[in-house]
A and B are shown apart, each in its own frame.
Chain A
């Protein structure tokens, strides 16, 4: 339909006259017919030959899409991405997803019905329609009924005004109005509305950004700091509270950690009397193997032969723990070396717990026995 098309509007006083005229005018095939009324008139769709509205099918499809969207989102979130056990139920239990599925189904379906009707089916908002800009619209939305004849969408011919007017008058129209082209007033066009909406969107954006900075910079609004600002000192922070300017304190000399009883041995000779408190179990040996591999094997070698991967690079001479000297060592002396270090070997105490040290001792014993296996070990 060209923007400059002619529309002839006939106004009627009663719905009966309207319906009868539709029949008459349809048979004359003047152009595209559309009826207008202040409220829905029953039977008018049949008279105009309208088909059933497809909204029902759209709503059905979108309702199902809504249900599946909700189920999919809930399942992915609660069972896959962030598995959450609530009330002893498995993360995959879907029964509790049903209420939200229902709500989302209704949400999708209703918005399809409402907005689909408005935007897709009725092509609203549209402010440039000739009937909307006619004088008759005030009657149509009040208490009168109207038929508008436009040139048919598929025909190139212009609508013959005289013929259309005569036909409407013959069909009983009380008033005839000819709208030659839509006369959109400057503030009622769709362009205006789009510009207005665009302006609102831009102003929302600007005020949102302003708001953000105002809240960010305005010191009177502590809540927005999200509890990041707190009156406490963090580790490694400076503090003017103590004389040394540090916030952290050294423990009092002689402080003993909870659950830890240090052994008071001054020399390696004294340590010889220490007894390995751990039983020689598979778990202990596993720990020993792991820690030995992590901390000892680089120098002493995987088999404790004193040839590790670092030996060549640094030229040091780590002890060969397979030597007879060390095979004869009591457990306590090996333990003492792990704690205090010896010669070039540094102390490992900071990196190994007491149990881990004793586990390593067990593991070294196992390595020594494995490298010097005797016949009875095989039996």
Chain B
């Protein structure tokens, strides 16, 4: 009886309710819910902690398929092209870009906003869905977090280069200096430095800490001596002690909560760059939520696109199921509706304010020189994702990839619309000018995609793409059956 006396300590009821495993859920809900409302399984076939490791953690030890090398060659070529043009820009100056009065912000800022936005999906999945206990996030969280980090790395290139003299970028930071001057803390551009810097470092730490138990698993299963040393150092001696897990879980929960606030703030701050100015169609209060929704929208589309490739080429279909993709597509659809509302609000604000500058700016979006870009944005972001109302489209690769690519293009062009269309006709008609990007602009954009996908490919090769320690904890039978031990 002494056993039950020790075990008699009641677990926290709130905690217990959130920790019921899949098996229990099915048991308790089958009787209550109709069949179409029952929770869908988060994996197919038989998955045990051991088989999970064999499936997910074995990749780095195996020889990659030929298609991986081909993909890496393509992305590396794109990256090198971008790097060459990056160096060319540094050497020649940013005059090699298409930026010209009055369009002083163009591809550099468009790409920055685009890539920061792509990153937001990862934090949403890893932090916000963690807090909401969305269990489907576990299988895709690690990959999405990695994409966040890579996307923010891509994003950071552009404002750094945009300054014109990237070797003086350290001027951005407030430190006591011989120049005797300080940054202007009332400038949203300085807020950006803090927001993006914090976002990157916090995302990196969040990702790395979550990865640590998985690296420990890899350390203990690898035979290669070199890998063993690398993984040993990276795992920091993680040994899965209960007293460590206790702090780990607490810290992870806190990080998720803080990252939630952070991710909402980052794109809001990015939108302040525009909203605090007086340019017509920038000076709007809807910008912060509109930017955050757009960021999540674009990021989810990118995650869906990459996940399709990952689950097909890495044989992870049993862990990243159709259900995962379908849920992601529902999020894309929801965000698309929010975007539609935001676009409508832009037009409605222009009309309701009866401000001639605002009306002119809005007319430019739908019928100006760049009207095609406006309509491309609207159709890619609002119209095409509506296909996801149909279950057939939500579960078919063809439509998923179509919509994802459309959203990626649409969201890039949305930033083009916001930045270039608003700037190219400002208050002074004598300075109006048509903006044309140069090949250098396009090459650096291509290079940023090359960098992103190169990092994604390398990540998929050397580190676990699925958070095994998180998935293990929600497999059936992985948690003790409280009911029985108390009964």
A39-B473, A78-B185 given; A103·B198 CB < 8 A: yes
Q: Contact: B480 with A15, CB < 8 Å? A: yes
Chain A CB within 10 A, most for which of B217, B238, B241, B472: B241
How close is B384's CB to chain A, nearest CB, in angstroms? 34
Contact of B53 among A103, A104, A109, A143 (CB under 8 A): A143
Contacts of A89 in B (CB 8 A): 186
Q: Contact: B11 with A124, CB < 8 Å? A: no
Contacts of B84 in A (CB 8 A): none
Q: Count of A-B contacts with CB under 8 A?
A: 259
Residues of B189-248 whose CB lies within 8 A of A: 190-191, 194-195, 197-198, 201-202, 205-206, 209, 213, 216-217, 219-221, 229, 232-233, 236-248
Main secondary structure of the interface of B (DSSP, over half): helix
Considering only CB atoms, which chain A residue lies closest to B51 in the complex?
Answer: A143
A14-B477, A48-B242, A127-B232 given; A55·B182 CB < 8 A: no
Q: Contact: A40 with B249, CB < 8 Å? A: yes
How close is B263's CB to chain A, nearest CB, in angstroms? 10
Contacts of B187 in A (CB 8 A): 86
Contacts of B457 in A (CB 8 A): none
Question: Is residue A126 within 8 Å, beta carbon to beta carbon, of the partner chain?
Answer: yes
Q: Contact: A46 with B9, CB < 8 Å? A: yes
Question: Is residue A142 within 8 Å, beta carbon to beta carbon, of the partner chain?
Answer: yes
How close is A247's CB to chain B, nearest CB, in angstroms? 28
Residues of B152-197 whose CB lies within 8 A of A: 165, 167-168, 174, 180-182, 184-188, 190-191, 194-195, 197
- Kindly state the separation between the CA atoms of A196 and B234 in the bound complex, as whole angstroms: 13
* Chain B, interface residues (CB within 8 Å), range: 35 or more
Contacts of B237 in A (CB 8 A): 124-129, 132, 190
Q: Contact: B206 with A110, CB < 8 Å? A: yes
Q: Contact: B229 with A55, CB < 8 Å? A: no
Question: Is residue B48 within 8 Å, beta carbon to beta carbon, of the partner chain?
Answer: yes
Contacts of A106 in B (CB 8 A): 198, 202, 258-259, 261-262, 265
Q: Contact: B254 with A137, CB < 8 Å? A: no
* Chain A, interface residues (CB within 8 Å), range: 35 or more
How close is B404's CB to chain A, nearest CB, in angstroms? 30
How close is B21's CB to chain A, nearest CB, in angstroms? 9
Considering only CB atoms, which chain B residue lies closest to A52 in the complex?
Answer: B250
Chain B CB within 10 A, most for which of A45, A110, A223: A110
Q: Contact: A117 with B248, CB < 8 Å? A: yes
Q: Contact: A107 with B6, CB < 8 Å? A: no
Contacts of A103 in B (CB 8 A): 191, 194-195, 197-198, 262, 265, 269
Q: Contact: A110 with B185, CB < 8 Å? A: no
Considering only CB atoms, which chain A residue lies closest to B57 in the complex?
Answer: A142
Considering only CB atoms, which chain A residue lies closest to B194 in the complex?
Answer: A103
Question: Is residue A324 within 8 Å, beta carbon to beta carbon, of the partner chain?
Answer: no
- Kindly state the separation between the CA atoms of A111 and B259 in the bound complex, as whole angstroms: 11
- Kindly state the separation between the CA atoms of A27 and B233 in the bound complex, as whole angstroms: 37
Contacts of A53 in B (CB 8 A): 246-247, 250-251
Residues of A106-132 whose CB lies within 8 A of B: 106-107, 109-111, 113-118, 121-122, 124-129, 131-132
Question: Is residue A360 within 8 Å, beta carbon to beta carbon, of the partner chain?
Answer: no
- Which of A30-38, A283-291, A297-305 interfaces with chain B? A30-38
Question: Is residue A296 within 8 Å, beta carbon to beta carbon, of the partner chain?
Answer: no
- Which of A18-26, A154-162, A364-372 interfaces with chain B? A18-26
